[in-house]
Amino acid sequence: MKTLHIATGKPYDIIIERGIIDQCGTYLRGVSKAKKAMIISDSNVFPIYGGRAEASLKQAGFETSQFVFTAGEESKRLETIAQMYTALIENGFTRSDIIVALGGGVVGDMSGFAAATYLRGIDFVQIPTSLLAQVDSSVGGKTGVDIPQGKNLVGAFWQPNTVLIDPDTLNTLTPHFFADGMGEVVKYGCIKSEKLFETLEKENAPEIIDDIIYQCVEIKRDVVQKDERDHGERALLNFGHTLGHAIEKEHNFKGVSHGEAVAIGMVMITKASEKAGITPAGTADRIAQLCKKYNLPTCDTTPIEKIVKSSFSDKKSSGDSIGLVVLDKIGESKIYPVKKTDMLGFVTGK
């Protein structure tokens, strides 16, 4: 077992332990006096892990209920949140009860948003079951949903009571979803840890995944503690995301997953920053080769003009400019503001 403490406004522990799902009730009882616990999950995850989680919660004395929605980014919308509210009301949930997010990033983001807004805020815990959620989205308190205008444009900061990470759940991921999570893993190496990046190049990530999860969570913990509300350094975590989110939007959140889009975005923005003389030549190719090693795409067929236009609705947009995350080199990153009128030229190098 490995434990990381995150000292945000609401401090909590992140616990990494194989088989922890079967002890989740004991851990939750240690951070909550709730009478009722609702497991929020999706149609892929709940049939595999829902019964085990529920059995542990019941053994710890919780009254349990479930809300299970259709798996996929297409469900990440306000209509699904409204259905969650209905389920919470029908099951008599009060401010003293708790939500258990069991699943990947979509489950965690929506469960957290429902928790942040139901009765103006109730407790929730994260039990992430995908690599992407374990290394990134379950930590830090960002919650939200997509709207037609863009990804995660409606949301709230709402820290969980705890995060329970069980690497054993990765054994049931398809190769596609393991690769999806590796997009965020590569990102952490790019922005904060040349050592992690080199490890990913030299080693086979699945063979050392426990250590990789710990390193990524540690990096995110350190960044979030300095900038919980995303006003400064935390923006570095969005490397590859401005163009990546735009690519997801242009594909109507189908066909290109989040981690795949981030991989493409990282390569695209690094090619641009190389042309601008910000990043050393060859960096984008090095990122591309690592992405390919872990079965991630590095380019997209969507016209660049459409991607750039879609990026203008990104959360990192401010006034007439966008704060792009670029690399000084592998392991070192910074925010580089670009005017929207210059964005197309910057990305294309023209």
> Per-residue pLDDT for the chain (350 aa), expressed as one digit of tens each?
999 999 999 999 999 999 999 999 999 999 999 999 999 999 999 999 999 999 999 999 999 999 999 999 999 999 999 999 999 999 999 999 999 999 999 999 999 999 999 999 999 999 999 999 999 999 999 999 999 888 899 999 999 999 999 999 999 999 999 999 999 999 999 999 999 999 999 999 999 999 999 999 999 999 999 999 888 899 999 999 999 999 999 998 888 999 999 999 999 999 999 999 999 999 999 999 999 999 999 999 999 999 999 998 776 666 789 999 999 999 999 999 999 999 999 999 87
- Specify the pairing of strand 36-42 against strand 63-69: parallel
Torsion sign over Cα 278, 280, 282, 287:
negative
**Within this chain, domains 2-172 and 175-348 share the same CATH topology:** no
Quickly name the fold that domain 2-172 has.
Rossmann fold (3.40.50)
Domain 175-348 has CATH 1.20.1090.10: yes
- pLDDT number for residue 231: 83
- pLDDT number for residue 317: 67
**What are the helix (H) ranges across 20-144?**
24-31, 51-59, 78-90, 105-117, 131-132
User: Are 180 and 129 spatial neighbours (Cβ–Cβ below 8 Å)?
Assistant: no
User: Are 110 and 40 spatial neighbours (Cβ–Cβ below 8 Å)?
Assistant: yes
Domain residue extents for the chain: 2-172, 175-348
- Which of 184, 131, 121, 127 shows the shortest CA–CA distance to 157? 121
User: Are 118 and 93 spatial neighbours (Cβ–Cβ below 8 Å)?
Assistant: yes
Collapsing DSSP to helix, strand or coil, 37 comes out as strand
What's the burial of 264, exposed, middle or buried (CB within 10 Å: 0-12/13-18/19+)? buried
- pLDDT number for residue 82: 98
Q: What is the DSSP string of 202-243?
A: HS-GGGGHHHHHHHHHHHHHHHHHH-TTSSSGGGGGGTTHHH
